[in-house]
Amino acid sequence: MKSLKKEIANTISKQVELDIAEIERLIEIPPNSDLGDYAFPCFQLSKAFRKAPNIIAAEMAEKLEKPLIIDKIISAGGYVNFFVNKGNFASAVLKGIAKEGAGYGRSDIGNGKTVLIDYCATNIAKPFHIGHLPTTVIGDSLNRIYKFLGYECVGINHIGDWGTQFGKLIVAYKKWGNKEEIEKNPIKELVKIYVRFHDEAEDDESLNDEGRAAFKAIENGDSEYVQLWKWFREVSIAEFKRVLKVLNVEFDSWDGESFFTDKMEPVIEELRNKKLLQESQGAQIVDLTQFDMPPCLILRSDGATLYATRDLAAILYRKEKYDFHKVLYCVATQQNLHFRQIFKVVDLMGYEWANNLVHVANGMISLETGAMGTRKGTVVYLDDVLNESVSKAMEKIEEKNPKLEGKEVVAKIVGIGAVKFSALKNKRMKDSVFVWDKVLNFEGETSCYIQYTHARICSVLEKTDFSKELDIEYELLTDDKSYEVIKTLALFPQVIIDAAEEYEPSDISKYLIDLVQSFNKFYHENHVLSSEGKLRDSRIELCKAVKIVISTGMGLLGIECPEKM
């Protein structure tokens, strides 16, 4: 069952030569329900049909074939008005959900297409901080959404594990590093010596030269330095994996920047052969003035490659390896220019699939205390935020439901879900401020509110007798509140498609908030367990459908819903 508007647009499209999407856009909701539930204005057809709108409307109303979910179609002035058969509509929607269960909304539109999703991409020896939250959860959610739509998905963690900073880190380690401490607390210790390096380098420029030389040594394969670099990389990755596990975020590939060090030469060659490389002050660049962009730097004057060079190598490698339909780069808006530049370079190289490279940009998260910076020591580790959220969730549970079984597990699901949802609920480009009271609230527009509604439905269902088949009469679900819930349920499949097309998991978050709000109004007004017979059974059926959609929707956001909380 499609949404009502879609069904009606579909019916109309059989009569008028207009695109379904256009018809859908034109359909209005009449101000007064005596005029029907939906109305299609015929004014814009008048010219093409060479008839007055009211005549067109009258003829259309006469000719249109009525689908089961429509009771009557009449014309009024220049409008065609549609009256929904709410009972049939409820039946179509709820039967569909009952039949498909957790697969409701699934599709095969992506079959045979591979989508690569590049997200998280933290940097070795640097904190996995709250700023990485959006890229990580948005990427993970898009991964889940695209899979649900039938695409083959490859999640890639393009970690930052190459560059001069590793030379500096080695110098810092040799001066002040402590192996045991690093083993115990890798990132925090490595950050400490890295920050110290920068502080001391302010007064002693020679340190930077030493750093550069050390990186050269890594590049040249100096075994001691390579060993150290590998070790920093290993301990950092182990730490990232630990946090990712808490977040329930996984990757298919960890090919980071260093993976591409030996794959850049051919790309540089190709750029040269295609006459795209130019020399500028000793460096090799691709000039982009014509496109209103600064040049894309490919080789520095000392011959070193750059972030962009490695990304270009990665693009060509990925095309070859996966023959992707699209690559989604879930990376903060600060890198807008970088992606515009490298996508343009790929385009200039003559690859027409350059427009299948998408920068799925996200805004910044800040804390109430203000912006943060690794060097200033004001960085907020994501791990600390997750732990704090879980303990705050635990406090809430102790307050609301102290006898709850498996409290620890529930507190984890609720606490972690709350942090994830905070980065999934607004349009991805929007900057946001992380405020505890807003994130962990059982009433506002939060994941706790959605999870709480889900648990409430589970407790209703738990009190029903599953061995008996329900005796449902869909006609009993036509009151305003039930109708509102059913209309919302019918929208779900399209919401998933829209979220994928716009790369906007927040569409699903917003939808889920709407769904639970309409459900809670229904639940407030209609007794479920205390009503009787067919009415009780029909309402139970509605509850079951809502539970399914909440849990599938939250699953697409990468958030679990406990049965009790």
Interface residues with ligand ARG (CB under 6 A)?
118, 121, 123, 158, 160, 311, 329, 331
Q: Which of 5, 6, 86, 126 is catalytic?
A: 126
Instruction: Provide Rg for the chain, Cα atoms.
Output: 29
In 149-222, which ranges are continuous DSSP H helix? Answer: 165-176, 179-184, 186-203, 206-219
The residues, any chain, with a CB within 8 Å of residue 244's CB and separated by 6 or more, are 120, 136, 250, 251
315 Cβ contact list (under 8 Å, min separation 6): 327, 342, 346, 357
Instruction: Show the tokens assigned to 256.
Output: 């980071």
- Indicate which residue of 132, 168, 487, 544 is catalytic: 132
- Judged by CB, which is closer to ligand ARG: 331, or 548? 331
Task: Give whichever of 136 and 446 is closer to ligand ARG, judged by the CB atom.
Answer: 136
338-376 burial string, b = 16+ CB within 10 Å, else e? bbbbbbbbbebbeeeebebbebbbbbbbbeeeeebebee
Report which secondary-structure segment, H or E, holds 366: strand 365-367
In angstroms, what is the minimal distance from the CB of 41 to ligand ARG? 47
77 DSSP 8-state letter = T
Distance CA 55, CA 79 (A): 10
Structure tokens at 75: 């014309």
> What is the smallest separation between the CB atom of 335 and ligand ARG, expressed in angstroms?
6
Distance CA 158, CA 160 (A): 7
Residue 250 amino acid letter: E
- Quote the least distance from Cβ 397 to ligand ARG, whole Å: 36
d(CA 303, CA 328): 30
* Shortest Å, Cβ 161 to ligand ARG: 9
**Closer residue to ligand ARG, CB minimum distance, 140 or 210:** 140
User: If 0-12 CB within 10 Å is exposed, 13-18 middle and 19+ buried, where does residue 333 land?
Assistant: middle
Question: Which is nearest to 268 in space by CA: 307, 225, 312?
Answer: 312
- Residue whose CB is less far from ligand ARG, 69 or 159: 159
Q: Are 314 and 158 in contact (CB under 8 A)?
A: yes
- What is the secondary structure of 297-362 as a DSSP string? EEE-TTS-B-HHHHHHHHHHHHHHHH--SEEEEEEEGGGHHHHHHHHHHHHHTT-GGGGGEEEEEE
Q: Closest approach of Cβ 35 to ligand ARG, in Å? A: 53
CB nearer to ligand ARG: give 78 or 160.
Answer: 160
Which lies closer to ligand ARG via its Cβ, residue 362 or residue 488? 362
Catalytic annotation on 198?
no
Least distance in Å: CB of 407 to ligand ARG?
37
Give Cα 276 to chain centroid, integer Å. 35
State which residue, 53 or 139, has the beta carbon closest to ligand ARG.
139
Q: Which of 361, 359, 323, 324 is nearest to 344 (CA)?
A: 359
Q: Smallest distance, Å, CB 122 to ligand ARG?
A: 7
Q: Is the Cβ of residue 311 or residue 445 nearer to ligand ARG in the bound state?
A: 311
Residue 121 or residue 276: which is nearer to ligand ARG going by CB? 121
The residue from 129, 158, 481, 487 that is catalytic is: 129
Enumerate the β-bridge partners of residue 114.
152
The distance of closest approach from Cβ of residue 118 to ligand ARG in the complex, given in angstroms and rounded to an integer, is 5
Residue 240 CB, shortest distance to ligand ARG, in Å, is 12
Helix boundaries (H) for 204-303: 206-219, 223-247, 264-273
The three-state secondary structure class of 365 is strand
Closest to ligand ARG by CB, 379 vs 513, is 379
Active site residue 129: yes
Backbone angles phi, psi at 53, to 5 degrees: -55, -40
Q: Give the pairing type, strands 38-41 and 79-84.
A: antiparallel
First to last CA, the chain: 32
What amino acid is encoded at 504 in this protein?
A: E
Closest CB 425 distance from ligand ARG, rounded Å: 23
132 catalytic? Reply is yes
* Residues tagged active-site: 126, 129, 132
